Structure 1
Amino acid sequence: MRTVGLIVEYNPFHNGHLYHLQQSVKITEANAVVAVMSGHFLQRGEPALADKWTRTEMALRGGCDLVLELPVAYSAQAAEWFAYGAVATLDATGVVDALCFGSEGGDLAPMRRVARELASESPPFASLLADKLADGVSYPSAYGAAVKAYMSAKGDADAAAFAFDQPNNTLGLHYLLALERLVSPMTPYTIKREKAGYSQTDITDTQIASATAIRKLILEQGSPDAAAPFIPFTTLDLLAGSSRAEARVSWRLYERSLFHKLLSEPAEMLAAYHEVTEGLEHRIKNALPSLPALTFEALLEALKTKRYTRTKLQRALLAILLGHRKTDMTRERLTTGVEYIRVLGFTPKGRELLKRMRKDARLPVLLSAADARSASRYLQMDVEATSVYALAEPNTDAKMLFRDYYGKPVMLER
C-alpha cells in the first residue's frame, strides 16, 4: 500500500483542499492518505472554526484514510517548528512513503536546493537573516530576503528568484528542511497552488476560495450556508450541526480569559511566555489603559507594527492564553518533542495502516490521552488546549473539557 502524507489545518475543509488531496493521490500514485492536522488552535494563532473531531470527520469524508493530531506545541508555531512537528509525526508512523504539499511556485527543484544548503544551519545565512531583521521588517519578509541574498551569493539564480516570502513556498521550504534534518525517507512532491491565495480575504472564483475568505464569510453572515459554493456538502452538513458555527467562533469568545491574564499578571510574568519577545510585554501593558474597548481587535490594532505582524501577535497572545512558556519551547525541547502519535480518526483503510503502525511506528500510538504510559508535557498541553477551547462552548460539561481522555477517534465506514 503506497501512502501519501498531507499536512493540513482544514479550517474548514473546502474545495481547494479537496483538489489538493485528489491531485496528491494522483501524482504520488498513492492508494492511502494520512493527514497530520492541527487540533483546536492553528498556525496563525487562531481558534479553529470547528473542534478537531468535527474537522477530522470532514477530512475522512473528503478522502483521508487516517488523521493524526499535530500537537499544539507545534500547531501554533511559526513555519519552522510547525513544519518540523508535522513532518516528524508523519515520519514516525513508519508507513508514509511520500509527502505532498501545495506551493505558490509549484517547482520542487529550487526549494530542495535551498533546503540542502540550509539544513546544516549555516552561520553565513544566520548572519544574513539577522541583518535583514535589523531593518525592522517582519520575520517572513526578512527570511525571504535572506534566502535570496544567500542563494545569489552561491550563484543559484533560479533559487534566488524563487518567492520564499510567499506563505506556502516558505512552509514548503521548511517541510523540505525538516525532511533533511530528520534524514526521512519520505519522497517530497509539490502542487502549484491555484486561484485563491492562503491569506486572500476576497472571493474571485465561483468554486474555490481560501479558508481565510470562507471563515470571514461564515462569521460575517452567521451561517455556514454562505460558504456553500466553496465547500463540499459534507463540510457544510458538519458545520451546520456544530455548536461552534452557531457561536461564530473567533478570538472574541476568549477575550475575557485573555484580558484577565494580561491585567492580572505583571510584565515580567508575561515575558516568560513563548513568542513574547523584544519588550512586547511592556508594549502590552502600556496599551491596556488606552484601549478604546477591551476587545481582541482593539488590542491587536494598538500592538501592530511593521515588525509585530498580526500573526506574530496572535501567536504570542495565544501562548499567554494557553500558558505556553519559553521553557516549554526551547529549540532543544522542540527538536525532541514529538513523543507520541495521536490518532483522531480513520476509515477501514486507515485501520489497516494502524495495524502496520503497531509494528513499524517509532513512537507510541495513542487513540486517546488515557493510552499514554508516561507523563508528557506536550500531551498535557494538548489536553489543556482542548479544555480552553471547550470553555467557549454554549453547553460545556466535564466530558467536553476532558474529551481527550473520554472521547474515541472518529471511525468512518466507507
Structure 2
Amino acid sequence: MKAVGVIVEYNPLHNGHVYHLSEARRLSGADAVVAVMSGPFLQRGEPAIVGKRARTEMALHAGADLVLELPVAYAVQPAEWFAYGAVALLHHTGVVDSLCFGSESGDLDSLQRIARVLAVEPAGLREDIARRLREGASYPAAYAGAAAALAPGGVDARDAAALLEQPNNSLGLHYLIALERLGSAIQPFTAARTGAAYHEATPGPGAIASATAVRRLLMADGPEAAAQYVPATTLAILQREWQTGRAPVHWERFVQPLLHIAATRRASELASIAEVTEGLEHRLIRTLSQLAEPSVDALLNALKTKRYTRTKLQRMLTHVLLNHSKTELSPSILAEGPGYLRALGFSSKGQSLLKQMKRSASLPVVIKPATFNHSQLELEIQAQAAYALAYTDKDTRTMYSDYYDPPIRY
C-alpha cells in the first residue's frame, strides 16, 4: 500500500484542506494518507480552537487514514524544528513513500535547489541571519533574506527572496531541508494553494477561506457562521464542541494561570524558559506591571516590537504556560528527533498501516500512552492537561484524557 504524508494543524479543517488531501493522493498516486498533526498547542504559539481528538475526527472524515501526533516539543517551534520533527515522524514510520505540502508557488524545483544548499548549513548563514536581526528584521524575514542570498545557480537571489517571503513556501523549504538532513527516500510533491491566502483575514468569494478567516467567523458568531467554508462533518464536530463547552479555546481562557506564572517567577527563572531570549524576561516583568487590563491580547500587544513578532511572543508565552525549559528544548535535544510514533486515530486502511509499522517503523508505535514512558510524551500529557483547563466543565479525567482515551477508529 502506497502512503503519502501530510503535515497539518487543522485549526480547524476547512475546504482548502480537503482540496489538499485530494491533491496529495492525486499527485503521489498513494492509496492512503498519513497525517502528522499538532496536538493542543500550535506552531504559531496558539492553543487550537478545538481539541486534538475533535481535529483527528475531522481529518479522518475528510480522507486521512492515519493521524499521528506531532509532540509539543516540535509543534510549538519555529519552522526549522517544526518541520524537522514532523518529517522525521513520517520518515520513521517506514511506510510513507511521499510527502505533499501546500505552497503558494507550486515551484518544487526551485525550493529543492535551495534546500540542497541550506541542508548542509553553509558557512556564513547564521552570521548573516544574526546581522539581519541586528538591523531590525524579524527572524522569518532574516532567515528568508539569508537563504535567498545563498540561492544556487539557476535561482536568482531576488526570485528566491520573493519565493521565501510566502509562509507556505518557506515552511515547504524546511520540509525539504529536513528530508535532505535525514537522508530520507520520501519523495516530495507540492500542491499550489488555491483560493484564500494563508493570512487572509476575511473570506472571499467561493467556498475556500483561510483558517485565519474561518477562526474569526467562529469566534464572532459560532460554527454556523463558517458553514460555507468547512465540510459538513467538520461543522457537526464544531457544533458538538461548542455545545459541550470544549470550544472555542483561545488565549484569553488561559489568562489567569499564565499571568499567575509570569507574575510569580523571578527574572532568572523566566530566563530559563524556552524562547525567553535577549532579555525578554525583563521586558515581560516590566510590561506586566504596566498593563491597563489583565488580558493575554493586551500583553502581546504591549510586548510586540518590529524585532519580536506576535508569533515569536505567543510561542514564548506557551512555553511559559507549560514550563518548557531551554534545556529540554535545546537544539541538541531537538536534533535527536521524536522518540515515538503516537496514533491519534485511524481508518481501516490506517489500521493496516499500523500493523505494517510495527514491523517497519524505526521508532516505537504508541497506542496506549499509559503503557509507554518518554520525556516528550510527558510534555505532551502535561500540555493536554493544561489545555483542558480552558474547558467550561473541568475534571481531572478530561485533563488526563491521554491516559484513558483510545485512538479514534473511523
CA-CA distance at 1:322 after TM superposition: 0.5
Aligned match of 1:181: 181
Q: Distance in 1 between matches of 2:120 and 2:292?
A: 48
Q: Secondary structure, in 3 states, of the residue corresponding to 1:328?
A: coil
| Identity, % of aligned positions | 50
Aligned match of 2:29: 29
CA-CA distance at 1:248 after TM superposition: 2.7
CA-CA distance at 1:131 after TM superposition: 1.7
Aligned match of 2:277: 277
Aligned match of 1:91: 91
Q: Is the 8 A contact 2:145 2:161 kept in 1?
A: no
Q: Secondary structure, in 3 states, of the residue corresponding to 2:124?
A: helix
Q: Distance in 2 between matches of 1:206 and 1:137?
A: 36
Asked if 1:65 corresponds to 2:55, the answer is no
Aligned match of 1:382: 380
Moved runs in structure 1, 4+ residues, more than 3 A?
A: 243-247
Aligned match of 1:125: 125
Aligned match of 1:319: 319
Aligned partner letter, 2:232: F
Aligned match of 1:409: 407
**Equivalent residues in 2 for 1:326-365, closer than 5 Å:** 326-365=326-365
Aligned match of 1:293: 293
Q: Distance in 2 between matches of 1:28 and 1:144?
A: 28
**Equivalent residues in 2 for 1:186-335, closer than 5 Å:** 186-221=186-221, 223-243=222-242, 247-335=247-335
Q: Is the 8 A contact 1:224 1:245 kept in 2?
A: no
Q: Secondary structure, in 3 states, of the residue corresponding to 2:17?
A: helix
CA-CA distance at 1:161 after TM superposition: 5.0
Q: Distance in 2 between matches of 1:215 and 1:246?
A: 15
Q: Which range moved further: 154-163 or 88-97? A: 154-163
- What do residues 197-219 of structure 1 show as CA deviations (whole Å, max 9, x unaligned)? 22211111320001111011100
Q: Which range moved further: 233-242 or 133-142? A: 133-142
Q: Is the 8 A contact 2:245 2:391 kept in 1?
A: no
Q: Which range moved further: 66-75 or 116-125? A: 116-125
Q: Distance in 1 between matches of 2:395 and 2:245?
A: 18
2:398 to 378, 388, 400: 400
The 1:246–1:411 alpha-carbon spacing in structure 2 relative to 1, beyond 3 Å, is: closer
Aligned partner letter, 2:313: L
Unaligned stretches of 5+ residues in structure 2 = none
Aligned partner letter, 1:109: D
Aligned residues: 408
Q: Distance in 1 between matches of 2:246 and 2:329?
A: 34
The 1:97–1:120 alpha-carbon spacing in structure 2 relative to 1, beyond 3 Å, is: same
Q: Distance in 1 between matches of 2:239 and 2:368?
A: 26
RMSD: 1.3
The 1:155–1:107 alpha-carbon spacing in structure 2 relative to 1, beyond 3 Å, is: closer
Q: Is the 8 A contact 2:15 2:208 kept in 1?
A: yes
Q: Distance in 1 between matches of 2:351 and 2:15?
A: 26
Q: Distance in 1 between matches of 2:120 and 2:247?
A: 46
Q: Is the 8 A contact 2:246 2:390 kept in 1?
A: no
Unaligned stretches of 5+ residues in structure 1 = none
Q: Distance in 2 between matches of 1:337 and 1:101?
A: 20
Aligned match of 1:56: 56
- What do residues 211-237 of structure 1 show as CA deviations (whole Å, max 9, x unaligned)? 11101110011x111000000000000
Q: Distance in 2 between matches of 1:111 and 1:125?
A: 17
Q: Secondary structure, in 3 states, of the residue corresponding to 1:67?
A: strand
Q: Distance in 1 between matches of 2:215 and 2:34?
A: 25
